[in-house]
Amino acid sequence: MDILSGSFSLTTSGRIELIDITAKVEKSLKENTCPDGLLYLFNPHTTAGLTINEGADPAVRQDICDGLQALVPADYPFRHAEGNSPAHIMATLCGSSLTIAMSEGRLVLGRWQRIFFSEFDGPRQRFVHWRLLS
């Protein structure tokens, strides 16, 4: 079994946003060719997440952000002194990692699917780590 790994950075610009990172992931993989295997993505931040969802209509991204904000009200009396408990909860709902199949050197995603970095406490400088198992 071969294992390749790496990471890339991104800068978020909004407090809450979904950023399409599919091209960044694909660029990282093109530099480390692997025809078939499993790609593992990990986000080491407690107030951000990773998700796969529709990338064709930008309204979907905004709906997800708005829906999460409705689920986790900012005015709830949270105890965390830093004041970003809603971001921690949204990150927990979203998750911190993804596993994606690779076939013939390409990500196996559905027709409309894209990979998103989910920022819940921005703007910030963030990192995504990846590991490819073939």
For residue 70, count other CB atoms closer than 10 A to its CB: 8
Q: How many CB atoms lie within 10 A of CB 36?
A: 12
Rounded to whole angstroms, the Cα distance separating 37 from 103 reads 7
Give the Å distances, CA to CA, from 118 to 78, 93, 112.
Answer: 21, 11, 18
What's the pLDDT tens digit per position in 34-63? 678 999 999 999 999 999 999 999 999 999
CA count, 13 A, side-chain hemisphere, 41: 27
Express each pLDDT in 106-132 by its tens digit.
Answer: 999 999 999 999 999 999 999 999 999
* pLDDT value of position 32: 64
pLDDT above 80 (res 81): yes
- List, in order, residues 6 or more apart from 45 with CB less than 8 Å away: 91, 96, 124, 126, 127
Looking at residue 33, its pLDDT comes to 65
Best CA proximity match to 91, nearest among 62, 60, 65: 65
State yes or no: pLDDT of 28 exceeds 90.
no
Question: What domains does the chain contain, in order, with CATH numbers?
Answer: 3-133 (2.60.120.460)
How far, CA to CA in Å, does 69 sit from each of 2, 74, 87, 89, 131? 41, 7, 9, 10, 31
Confirm if 119 and 48 have CB atoms less than 8 A apart: yes
| Distance of alpha carbon 70 from alpha carbon 127, whole angstroms | 27
Share of the chain above pLDDT 70, in %: 96
Residue 16 has pLDDT above 90, yes or no: yes
